[in-house]
Structure 1
Amino acid sequence: MTWRAIPALMTISLLVTIVQLRWIRHAPAKERSAFWSLLALCWLLASLLMIFPRLPGLTELVDTLMTPIGDFLIHGGTSHP
């Protein structure tokens, strides 16, 4: 099932690219590179989630990274119970 879904994901990415092809040709270089990098990043993340379905989501990643920073900013770097 998983290995059949990845080519389907690639097909959907190709369809998105075909639909946006007119815009891509006339877009500035920065926007073209942003489009390609976001498309590649989304394809990679979707593929990883299909292969490893128990992978934590983006919300858990942001929560894990930001909780210590928030605690540091709120409590001023002092330890708290």
Structure 2
Amino acid sequence: MKWGDWGLLTFLMIIFALYEWSKMDKGLKKERAAYAVLNVTVWMLSLLLVLFPKLPGPTQLVEAVLKPLSKILETK
């Protein structure tokens, strides 16, 4: 089932990217590059969540990084 989800996710990302890409002005090279980078990043994060559904979210990452810092700041 995960391969079906992976394939559907990839297909949808390609359709969305082609739709938006065709609407962008050809002279906007930096905007196109930024869109491509963001699209690939979102696609990779989505694949990670499909393949590893128990992966911790960004909130847990921020909490893990800032919790020791808050303890250091409280003691002073």
TM range (shorter): 0.7 to 0.9
| Partner AA of 1:22 in structure 2 | S
The residue that corresponds to 1:44 in the other structure is 44
So what's the TM-score if we normalise by structure 2?
0.79
User: Under a length normalisation based on structure 1, what TM-score does the superposition of the two structures give?
Assistant: 0.75
Say which structure, 1 or 2, has more relative contact order (CA 8 Å, 6+ apart): 2
Amino acid at match of 1:44: M
SS at match of 2:53: coil
Q: Which residue identity is paired with 2:35?
A: F
The residue identity in structure 1 corresponding to 2:39 is L
What is the letter of the counterpart of residue 35 of structure 1?
A: Y
Post-superposition CA distance 1:23-44 (Å, at most 9, x none): 3343522211111111111111
User: 1: distance between equivalents of 2:27 and 2:43?
Assistant: 22
Structure 2: where are the runs of 5+ without partners? none
Determine what percentage of the aligned residue pairs are the same residue: 29
Across the two proteins, how many residue pairs are aligned to each other?
75
CA contact (8 A) 2:24 2:32 kept: yes
CA distance in 1, matches of 2:39, 2:66: 26
